C-alpha cells in the first residue's frame, strides 16, 4: 500500500517507505510530543490544509505523500524536501538543510534507509558535512 500511495504522488521508489520508517516505524497510531499523528506524523494544521483526516491511516498516508510531493516540487531536491517536511518549509533557505540537529539527523536517517531499501548491497555514504549556520549538502538527485 505504501508503494502505491508513493507512486500516486510520483515519489521515488523507496523514499516514502524510508520516510515512514523514520516518522512512525509503520505505527498508524504513533503520536509525537509535538502532537504529530499517524504513519506520516501529520500535524493538525498540515492535515487540515491537506484536507485529510489524520486519524484515518490511509488518509494520513496520502496526506503525507502529498505534502512530501509539494516539498519536492518546491525545493527540487530530496534532502531539502525532507528537511522542509521535518522542520517546515520556512526554515529551508539557500539550498541548505537548516542546522537543526533533529532535522539533520532526520534527513540523514531517511537517506540511509532509502539507500538500504533500494540497494541493499550498498552501504549508504554520508550526505553532508556540518558547517556553521546551515548545512551544505553534496550533490543530490534533483526533481
Measured CA to CA, the distance from residue 117 to residue 103 in angstroms comes to 21
Respond yes or no: is residue 23 known to be catalytic. yes
Which residue's C-alpha cell is 497510531?
29
Cell of 27: 505505527
Candidate list 5, 6, 23, 41, residue with the active-site label: 23
Query: Which H/E stretch holds residue 135?
Result: strand 134-136
Q: Which residues contact 93 (CB under 8 A, 6 or more apart)?
A: 134
CA–CA dist 112, 93 (Å, integer): 23
Q: Active-site residue numbers?
A: 23
Amino acid at each position: 500500500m505504501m508503494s502505491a500511495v508513493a507512486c500516486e504522488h510520483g515519489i521515488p521508489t523507496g523514499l516514502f517507505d524510508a520516510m515512514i520508517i523514520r516518522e512512525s516505524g509503520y505505527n498508524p497510531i504513533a503520536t509525537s510530543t509535538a502532537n504529530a499523528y499517524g504513519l506520516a506524523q501529520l500535524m493538525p494544521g498540515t492535515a487540515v490544509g491537506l484536507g485529510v483526516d489524520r486519524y484515518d491511516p490511509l488518509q494520513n498516508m496520502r496526506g503525507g505523500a502529498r505534502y512530501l510531493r509539494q516539498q519536492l516540487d518546491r525545493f527540487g531536491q530530496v534532502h531539502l524536501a525532507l528537511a522542509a517536511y521535518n522542520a517546515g518549509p520556512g526554515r529551508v533557505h539557500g539550498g541548505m538543510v537548516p542546522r537543526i540537529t533533529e532535522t539533520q539527523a532526520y534527513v540523514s536517517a531517511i537517506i540511509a534507509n532509502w539507500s538500504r531499501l533500494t540497494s541493499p548491497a550498498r552501504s549508504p555514504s554520508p550526505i553532508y558535512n556540518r558547517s556553521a549556520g546551515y548545512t551544505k549538502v553534496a550533490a543530490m538527485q534533483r526533481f
